[in-house]
Each structure stands twice: as C-alpha cells, then as structure tokens.
Structure 1
Amino acid sequence: MKKCHIAYLACTAALLGTGLGAAPPVAAHTVHLVRPGESIQKAVDAAEPGDTVLLTPGVHHESVTLSTPGLTLRGMGRHTVLEPAAGAATAAGAPKAARAAADTCAAGGNGICVVGTKDHRVEGVTVAALTVSGFTRNGVYATATDRLTVRGVTAVKNGVWGIAQEGSVRGVFRGNTARDNGDAGLFLANSVKEEQGATDTDGTVVDRNRLEGNRIGVTVRRLRNLTVAHNHLTGNCAAVFVVGDENKPKAGLVTVRDNRIVRNNKSCPKTARLDALQGSGIVLTGAEDNLITHNVIEDNVGTSPLSGGIVLFKSFVGTTSDRNRIADNDLRGNSPADLVNTDTAGKGNTFEGNSCRASQPAGLC
C-alpha cells in the first residue's frame, strides 16, 4: 500500500484498468472544424449533442440552422465572419437535407437560425465569438429554445434585428455587440405572428452588451420575468423598449438596471406600428410591475412623443402601464425631460430617489 500511496496516479490507473472503482464513462464531445469555403451546415448536421462546430477566421458565405440540443457554434472572434451566400451557393457541398435547412434560414433572410418547436424546445445551444453581417432580415434568429446562450457575437448591418429570439425561456445574451441594424439590436418577444399573452421567460438575462446605431437598442415585447442589466446603449433612436398590449397575462416583471444610456439621438421615421423615434432612453408602454433602477441616462434629446430619459406611455391600443417603480436612476440633459409620464390613466406607478432636473408633469424628480 505504501508503494501505491507514493505512485497514486499509476495505481489509480491500474485499478481503473481492472474495473475496480471505475467511474462511469464520459461521452467524448467532438470539435468539427470548418474553414471558409467549407459547409458549416454539413458540420452542424454531422454533430451530436454536446459537440462544437468551430469556424476559423475569415469570411464564411452561408446561412445555417441549428436544432441539435447542446450544440455549440463558435468562431474565433470577430474576424470569423458570416455573410450571405451568393444565390444557389448556400451550403455548397452539403447533403440535400443540410442544404434544405440552410436554404430555409437563408430564404427568411437570416444568418444563423436556432429552431425548436412549440412542443419541443431545443435546449442548451450556444452561439459565440463570431460576426454576422449583411443579412436582409436577422443576424441570429432563435425560436422555441431553452437556455440558449449568445455571447461575444457581433451583429452588424442586418436588415431587421441583429440578434432575436421568440417563444423561448432561460436565454442568456451576454457580451454581444449589435450595431447599425434596421430595427432592434436585440429583440426578445413571445411571438410576432400570433396574438397571445406575455410569455414568462423564467429569468432570461440581457447583460453587458453594446448596442449602437440601431433603431432600438433592446426591445422586450410581450414578455415577463427577465433582466436587462449592465448594457451600454448609445447612438440608437431609442435605447430600451418594454412593450405590452391588451393580451393577458400582461407584459411586465422586467428589471432594467445598471445600464448606461447616452445620446440615443439618431432620427428614425414613423412606421406602420410606431411613431417617429429620437432621443428615447427607456420607454415603458402597456406593461406592469417593472423595476427601472440605478441606470445612468444622459443627453437623450428628441421631439417624438416617446422622447425623454425614462418615459411611461400608454400603449397604442390603449393599455395602461401600471405599478412600475422608477427608482434611484441618475438622469441629466434629457429632453423634453428626464422623466416623462404621459400615461395619466396608469395606476400605482412610482418615481423615487432619482437624480434629475426636469420632469413632465412637474414634481416627479
């Protein structure tokens, strides 16, 4: 035994080799390396749960769909770039089923699609450390996911959303950059196609992202129970939107805290769904029981009905914002005011401990 004590590792290996004290086998996870010009979709379709598809630096011209639980799609930093394929070149060299999946994602104008179903959410997928740029609709689009992680992704100049998720729970969006996208840099919603009550996200987190030059930095639409924290938002038309409507349950229980929201003064024209935007910091519309706290909100200036540092606004379908707590925020230089409450029919909204100079109506600071 003394000899075994001295040579513990060797003895342990010997014991395991004889089956004594053997640990249960650990599944080996495979890394599938993809270089520019090779098919990402082919590698994704060959991957097993827990595997990683690793993209090398350079420009990959492809759209790709992920539906394998536990799969990681990862680049090697922002110089790993995913851009749209040219015509029929989508997923060249991939088998027919792989091409069909990628083509469906591409036909929707998307770069990366993470797709589950209403009855079976895809679990534990990670997208990380790459750039998605120039897609006509969305850089990263996910639906029906559980514990999706998107981190270190740069989404630039995509036609609608930089990074978007619908009908999903327990997502983590951390350390991403979304810049110059046509609508929201980060868009989270229950569904854009169906009328239904707000979805409980079970604690989705939007944390430490940089959102710049988009129409809206972060949109949280018809959701409940999530946190938007420690993000930097600048140069957007509006920084943060928490949006509800007349459906039940109502949107709410969103915490927006410790964000830096500065000079979101880009001008965006009116659309069929929303008034012109400029100079909006945080907007709450048709939502309840939200906490807006410890944010720094400076120099957001505009003349839109939604302009101002923190704005409570009755939704466009007439739903009030109720029981929202706006506390301990640092506001300065916002116009028409640091705090704006045009939702006079809303009940139980409170403004306390904020550092600010001007409000509409007067007396909120």
Structure 2
Amino acid sequence: MTKRQIAHLACTAALVASGLGAAAAPPADRETVHRVKPGESIQQAVDAARPGDTILLSPGTYRESVLITTSDLTLRGSGVSPTVLVPAATPGANACAKAGNGLCVTGTKDRPVEDVTVRSLTLRGFAKNGLWASWTDRLKVQRVIAERNGTWGIGQERSERGVFTHDIARDNGDAGLFLANTVDAEGGAADTKGTLVSHNRVSGNRIGITVRRLRNLTVDRNDATGNCAAVFVVGDESAPRAGAMSVSRNHIHANNKLCPKTPRLPFLQGSGIVLTGTERTVVAENRVVDNVGTSPLSGGIVLFKSFVGALNEHNEIRDNVVLRNGTADLANRDTGKGNSFRGNTCTLSEPTGMC
C-alpha cells in the first residue's frame, strides 16, 4: 500500500470517528407540550399525552376534574396569573370527578404511576379532596394551592418517595396535607422510602398535616397556623409500627381554631405537634408557640396514646422552642417507654420537670 493510500485511509477513519463521515443520527424524541386554554379540556390533553410530555395550562378557571394515569407527565399552570380548577356544574365521567376530587394521580399495585409533577395550580371547592394520589412513586406536588375542599386539600396513600413542597393548604374540611398507608383498610405502617413534606403553609384546616401509619418520612420547615391542630403523627397497634420519621424545624403557631369532636377524636383546639401510637420519631428544632386550648390533645408537643390504646415508644423530643402553649408546652400523657425530652426551651410541662 502506497503512502498516499495509507494517508487516505487515516483521514477517512478520523472522519468516521468524529461523526462527520457518517450519516447523522436521528434526533432523540422530544417532549411534547400540550397547551390548554380556559374553555378547553385538560382531560383531553392528559389523555393525548405520552410519557415525558407537559400539559401547560394558561391562566384562568377550568371547571372539571382531571385524572392522570400515565407516568412521567407534568401538569403545570401559569406562573404569572392563577390557574384554577373548580368543580364542573355537572360531574364528569371519570373516576376522579365521581369521587368528588379535583385532580387525581392514580396507579395500581402492579403498575404505580411514576414521576408525575403537578405544579402551580389552585384546586378549590371540591366536595372531597383537592388533589388525591394513590399508588404513585416520586410524585411531586409543588406550588399548589388547595383551598376550601370538603375533606383533604392534598392527600396521598399507598405511595412512595413523594415530594410536597411550597404548597398552600387552607380552609379544608379535615387535613390540609394528608398522607397515609391506606384509607380503606387496616394494616401496618408503610415505608414511604423518604417522602418529603417541606416548606408548605397550612392554615384554617381541622388538622394542618396528618401523617398516618407511615414510616421513613420527613416533615420539615413547614408553617402551620390557624388550624385546630397543626401536625398529627398517628399510629396504632398494627405492625410494623408507625414512626421512624423526622418532624423538624417547623413553625407551629396559634393553632387555636375550635373543631367539634368526631367518632374518632375529641374536640380539637390549641394542639401543636401530637404523636399518638408512634415509635422512634425525632421531633427536633421546631418553634411551637401560642397554641392554646383545653382539649385532651391540647399543648405544644403532646404524646398521647392512640385511641385503640397503642403507646408511643422510643421517640425523641429535643432542642425545640415550645412556649405559651395553654395547659402545657410539653405534655407526656402516655405510659409508653423510652420517650426522651431534652434540650427543649419551655416553661410548663406535664408532668413537671421536663423543661
């Protein structure tokens, strides 16, 4: 082979290696943005979307309920002016509307819905829940306002690794944010694998944030005021026990709304953080002030056995500022073993000696 031939082959090899001598590779699939305006159907856009797509809603009011069953979708409102979902005058045909919910993200046990993001929406006035999620993985709910809904503002069950951040839940019939293992069956606490509830504002609800029969979850840097009770961590006698979570750096203040008793709970007023039937939960570095009431569950940070008799055990209450909270800043109204109180700034405790 001549020197000229060798040089030609070397040049050709270099072109191929750089991609210049080969046919261009086909472009990767790009996400599709489905744009919806008031008067158009969000549900139609959701049904037409494929994984990776975004449904972008223009500002305005939409009168419908929306059901998402496809993974890897983003439903996003306008960040400039409000994008509001309210109930339709005539209930829609999908399961979300029939249940009285505003927005539902729903999978199954065998096929959970994964990586859905809901952002910058207002969900207002639905008979049951503003947003309801079941069988989801890595659901993100961010900058959502859920207000004046009949039961829960934002709720989730049977789900893992959810992220609920910078949301506002106000004036809902029960909890502003509600997270549970399941709502229609008994059972042991579920491992959420790191669900995060952070930087949310909850006000005017019966309970600001309820965490029921769950493990491995963080409730951090939320602001709760004007509720009957701010934060409930709820367990029972089932195994595994509820707990193994962190409630930290929250601002809990003036949760003094009065709510009547229910078949499950006495009347509520002036409750900051309440643990019932939980284990190995760390309640740390919270500011809990000015929560005043005379309910059995009133007080700044309260340990109370569950209403089926399950005790709190091995919980750690430390380094909190707990002041001016009605009957007690710290209250251990339980007989469970291994609960510790240390490093807290408070004035009045029940029993005495914990401040």
Band of TM-score, shorter chain: over 0.9
Q: Matches of 1:357 and 1:183 in 2, distance apart?
A: 31
Query: Counterparts of 1:61-210 in structure 2 under 5 Å?
Result: 61-77=63-79, 79-87=82-90, 90=92, 100=93, 103-210=94-201
Deviation at 1:177, TM superposition (A): 0.2
1:17 and 1:216 map into 2 onto residues whose CA distance is 63
Classify the secondary structure of the residue corresponding to 1:45: helix
The 5-angstrom pairing of residues 1-365 of structure 1 reads: 18-19=21-22, 25-77=27-79, 79-87=82-90, 90=92, 100=93, 103-343=94-334, 345-365=335-355
Distance 1:253 1:271 in 2: 28
CA distance in 2 between counterparts of 1:292 and 1:256 reads 5
What is the Cα deviation at residue 254 of structure 1? 1.4
Give distance in 1, aligned partners of 2:53 and 2:21. Answer: 30
2:8 maps to which residue? none
TM-superposed CA distance for 1:26, in Å, is 2.5
Displacement of 1:275 after TM fit?
A: 1.2
Structure 2 residue runs of 5 or longer lacking an equivalent are 1-14
Q: Identity over aligned residues, as a percent?
A: 62
Q: Following the alignment from structure 1 to structure 2, what is the Cα–Cα distance between the partners of residues 110 and 19?
A: 54
Q: Secondary structure at the match of 2:314?
A: coil
Distance in 2 (alpha carbons) for counterparts of 1:19 and 1:166: 51
Q: Distance in 1 between matches of 2:309 and 2:105?
A: 34
Q: Which runs of 5+ in 1 are unaligned?
A: 1-11, 91-99
SS at match of 1:201: strand
Task: Provide TM-score, normalisation by structure 1.
Answer: 0.90
User: Structure 1: how far apart are the matches of 2:25 and 2:304?
Assistant: 59
Structure 1 distance, partners of 2:144, 2:19, is: 42
Residue 153 of structure 2: SS of its match in structure 1?
strand
Deviations 1:48-99, CA, capped at 9 Å, x for gaps: 00100111110000000001110011101461000000115x3xxxxxxxxx
SS of corresponding position for 1:53? strand
Distance 1:233 1:177 in 2: 10
Quote how far apart the aligned CAs of 1:350 are.
Answer: 0.1
SS of the equivalent of 2:96 reads helix
Q: Deviation per CA, 1:294-329, whole angstroms, max 9, x where unpaired?
A: 000000000000000000000000000000000000
Aligned-partner residue type, residue 75 of structure 2: L
CA offset at residue 107 of structure 1? 1.1
For the residues of structure 1 that align with 2:28 and 2:284, how far apart are their CA atoms?
45
TM-score if structure 2 supplies the norm length?
0.93
SS of 2:246's equivalent? Answer: strand
Matched letter for residue 28 of structure 2: V
- Aligned to 1:38, the other structure's residue is in SS state coil
CA shift, 1:16, in A, is 5.1
Matched residue SS, 1:161: coil
Cα distance in 1 for residues equivalent to 2:192 and 2:311: 22
**1:110 partner SS:** coil
Distance 2:170 2:283 in 1: 24
Change in 2 beyond 3 A, CA 1:139/1:350: same
Q: CA deviation at 1:27?
A: 2.1
Q: Aligned AA for 2:184?
A: K
CA 1:158–1:17 in 2, change beyond 3 Å: closer, same or farther?
Answer: farther
Residues matched between the structures, number: 339
Larger radius of gyration: 2
Query: C-alpha displacement at 1:118, in angstroms?
Result: 1.3
